[in-house]
Amino acid sequence: MPIQHAIWTVGHEPKPLITSRLPSEQLLEDMIVRDSRILTSEWMLIGRQEITSFGGRIDLLAIAPDGSLVLIELKRDRTPREIIAQALDYASWVDQLGAEKIAQIYHRFSNGGSLDEAFNQRFGTRLDEETLNQSHQFIIVASELDASTERIVTYLNARDIAINVVFFQVFQHDGQQLLSRAWLIDPVETQANVAVSGKTKGEKEPWNGEYYVSFGDPSSRSWDDARKYGYISGGGGSWYSQTLKLLSPGDRVWVKIPKTGYVGVGQVLESVQPVTEFTVPTENGDQPVARSGHPLCRANGARTAMPGRRAKFPGFQKRASP
C-alpha cells in the first residue's frame, strides 16, 4: 500500500499544506550530506558517489554503530526491476570491502579524515575491525514508489534481506518548502535482519540462536561492574537500545569489548529496562543505577538513557587481544 504524506496547519480551521517538489534529487543528496539526520541520527556518512569495481556508482555510504555498512540510493527514474537489481549488485561489492578499503573511502569523503577517529567521536566507542562490515543493509530514498517495488522490498525483508525504503514528501508553506519523511518498513525490523545476516556471514552452518553484544569502550564503562551486578547495556543512541530489545529471557549472549576480544558469556534473565528503572544492590538496598554512582552512568547518562538487561555470567572467560 503506497505511503501517503499529509501535513495540516493547527488551529480552529485546519488546512492541508500544498505538496511541492524539490528542484532536483541532487539537492536532496546535498541536504543529506550536510545533515544526515534527515535520514536518521543513528548513522555516520562515510562515502559519496563511490565508484564500484564494476563501474557502478553508490550515491551514499554510511556506517552504523555496530560497524555494519548502509548503502543509500536515491531513486532516479529507474524501473522497479532496475533499482532492486542495482541494490543487490552494489551489495555484492560492499560485501567484499575490507577495513583498509573502507578507511580509504572515508579518507576521500572527508578530505583526509581518519575513520577510526571519526567513528570514536561520533559513536563514543572505538571501531572494531573484526566486526567492521560483517553485515550491511540497503536503503532506497524516494518520493514515491510503485506497488511492484514495494512488494519486492517487503518480500526480501521478510526473508532476512535487510532492505528498506525512506519516502520523502515536500510541502509548501509561507514561501518555504518543508520536508517530511516516512519508512516503508519499521527500521527496527530491518536492523534485526542486519543482525541476523551478520551472524551468518561467511558461514555455511545456520545461526545457532546465540547473540553477540558489544559492551563498548572500557574507558566509558566497567566490565567488572557489569559482572558484579549482572547486566549488559547499550548507550550512545537508540541503535543500541533497539538491538537490546531483540533479546529475550533465556537467550545466550556473548560479550565483546572492542580492541580486547570476547570477555564473557551469559544468559538473559530479564527484559530490557530503561536506566531510570534499572536497580543494583548497594549497602542501602537496591538503588537506581542512575543514582548509584555507577561509572557507566557518569560517562553516558548525560547523552542518552541507556537500557539494561539483567544477565548472569556463569561461564566468564578471558581471551587475549586479537
Tell me the three state secondary structure of residue 164.
strand
Q: How many residues belong to the chain?
A: 322
Residue 67 to residue 63: CA distance in whole angstroms: 6
Residues 218-233: pLDDT tens digits? 666 677 777 777 787 7
pLDDT for 200 equals: 47
Radius of gyration of the chain (CA): 21
Q: Contact at 8 Å (CB) between 193 and 162?
A: yes
Residue 99 to residue 275: CA distance in whole angstroms: 34
Q: Specify which residues 166 forms β-bridges with.
A: 141, 183
Tell me the three state secondary structure of residue 209.
coil
Tell me the three state secondary structure of residue 299.
helix
Cα 228 to the center of its chain, rounded Å: 29
Q: Is the pTM of this model over 0.85?
A: no
242: cell is 533497539
pLDDT for 222 equals: 75
pLDDT for 284 equals: 79
What is the average pLDDT score of the chain?
76
